């Protein structure tokens, strides 16, 4: 009397009802909102033709835009790793007045609309702005230069490193450090040999998240960048410009590259997060 045949089945049986309904709805909705539109992008790109696709991507203006986007996103992510670590360290390890507020402030770039951040940064760093007025006499021009893009991308990336490193730092068993200290390690050795290896997966995750976000960022950049072709024109902006010129093929080709990078980054981030959890 076999109660349930051991035939091939899609999922392991569960006592909780509703799998068919919820799985079906999830898949349908995911398809309608995300998968079909993205498939449209790929389909459109496949119509462009390989030669034209390559020609678009190797055009000087496109190349410069991509180089600028990836290069500055990378620099901003590095910057955020360094300062994000210091912020995370200070917030978890030390008690100081205003610590709670500082901790809350870290999330502002998540919540503040990019356009708001964009106009605020552009105003602040203009030669007459609060910050720009001190930089102008030194010959440092921020607005309408790649430096401005860097400032904007640092802003949007701040929370990522802090928020990935913080929980790992918090869970780090203090006895590990005591143990290392009793074994005669100096503080610097403890940090290098005990703390740093534990934090590494989280740091890389934070870096990847900040980089992925920065590569695609649009709103906070366009106001401060000035958008001079080949100098301060980022890839997402070039997509918008090509669209406005009705050069859909050009827009699509650049978008496919960005989508590809986004997907790769997502896979890397997933790996890193699993690594982080395994270490935690």
**Per CB under 8 A, which of residues 126..155 are in contact with another protein?**
130-131, 151, 154-155
Stretch that binds another protein, among 58-66, 133-141, 171-179, 225-233 (CB under 8 A): 171-179
Give whichever of 22 and 230 is closer to another protein, judged by the CB atom.
22
Alpha carbons within 13 angstroms on the beta-carbon side of residue 203 total 19
CB atoms within 10 A of CB 90: 13
State yes or no: residue 8 binds another protein (CB under 8 A): no
Residue 221 CB, nearest approach to another protein (Å): 10
Binding window for another protein (CB under 8 A); candidates: 49-57, 90-98, 135-143, 198-206: 90-98
Minimum Å gap between C-beta 232 and another protein is 16
Q: Binders of another protein: how many residues, by CB under 8 A? A: 110
CB of 11 or CB of 139, closer to another protein: 11
Identity of the residue, 35 or 196, whose beta carbon is nearer to another protein in the bound complex: 35
Residue pair 87/106 in contact by the 8 Å Cβ criterion = yes
Query: Where would I find the H helices in 31-59?
Result: 36-48, 50-58
Minimum CB distance to another protein smaller for 58 or for 128:
128
CA distances from 153 to 168, 172, 249, 280 (A): 25, 30, 27, 29
Q: Which of residues 22-61 bind another protein (CB under 8 A)?
A: 22-23, 25-27, 29-30, 33-38, 40-41, 43-44
104 vs 138, beta carbon nearer another protein:
104
Q: Tokens in use for 66?
A: 């991509």
Q: Which of residues 93-132 bind another protein (CB under 8 A)?
A: 93-96, 98, 102, 104-124, 130-131
**Contact map string, positions 204 to 233, toward another protein, x by CB under 8 A:** --------xx-xxxxx---x----------
End-to-end CA distance of the chain: 47
What separation in angstroms does the CA of 270 have from each of 28, 105, 158, 266? 24, 26, 20, 6
> Which of 150, 168, 203, 269 is the binder for another protein (CB under 8 A)?
269
Contact 198, 278 (CB under 8 A): no
Q: How far is the CB of 111 from another protein (least distance, A)?
A: 4
The string over 210-226, giving b where at least 16 C-beta atoms fall within 10 Å of a residue's C-beta and e elsewhere, is bbbbbbbbbbbbbbbbb
Site for another protein (CB under 8 A): which residue of 137, 139, 174, 184? Answer: 174
List the Cα angle 168/170/173 in 5-degree steps: 90
Any contact of residue 92 with another protein (CB under 8 A)? Answer: yes
Q: Phi/psi at 257 (nearest 5 deg)?
A: -60, -45
- Whether residue 147 contacts residue 232, with contact meaning beta carbons closer than 8 Å, is answered with no
């Amino acid at each position: 009397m076999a109660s349930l045949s051991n035939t091939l089945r899609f999922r392991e049986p569960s006592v909780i009802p509703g799998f068919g309904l919820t799985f079906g709805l999830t898949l349908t909705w995911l398809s309608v909102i995300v998968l079909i539109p993205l498939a449209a992008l790929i389909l459109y790109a496949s119509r462009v033709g390989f030669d034209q696709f390559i020609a678009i991507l190797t055009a000087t203006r496109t190349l410069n835009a991509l180089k600028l986007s990836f290069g500055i996103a990378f620099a901003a992510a590095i910057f955020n790793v360094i300062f994000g670590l210091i912020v995370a360290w200070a917030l978890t390890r030390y008690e100081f007045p205003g610590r709670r507020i500082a901790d809350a402030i870290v999330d502002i770039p998540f919540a503040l609309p990019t356009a708001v951040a964009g106009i605020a940064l552009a105003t602040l760093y203009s030669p007459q702005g609060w910050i720009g007025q001190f930089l102008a006499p030194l010959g440092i021009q921020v607005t309408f230069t790649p430096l401005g893009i860097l400032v904007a991308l640092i802003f949007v990336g701040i929370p990522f490193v802090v928020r990935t490193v913080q929980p790992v730092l918090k869970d780090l068993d203090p006895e590990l450090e005591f143990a290392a200290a009793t074994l005669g390690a100096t503080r610097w050795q403890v940090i290098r040999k005990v703390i740093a290896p534990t934090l590494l997966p989280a740091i890389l995750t934070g870096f990847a998240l900040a980089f992925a976000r920065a590569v695609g960022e649009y709103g906070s950049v366009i106001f401060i960048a000035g958008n001079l072709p080949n100098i301060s024109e980022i890839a997402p902006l070039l997509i918008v410009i090509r669209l406005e010129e009705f050069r859909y093929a050009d827009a699509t080709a650049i978008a496919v590259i960005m989508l590809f990078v986004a997907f790769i980054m997502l896979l890397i981030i997933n790996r890193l997060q699993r690594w982080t959890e395994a270490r935690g």
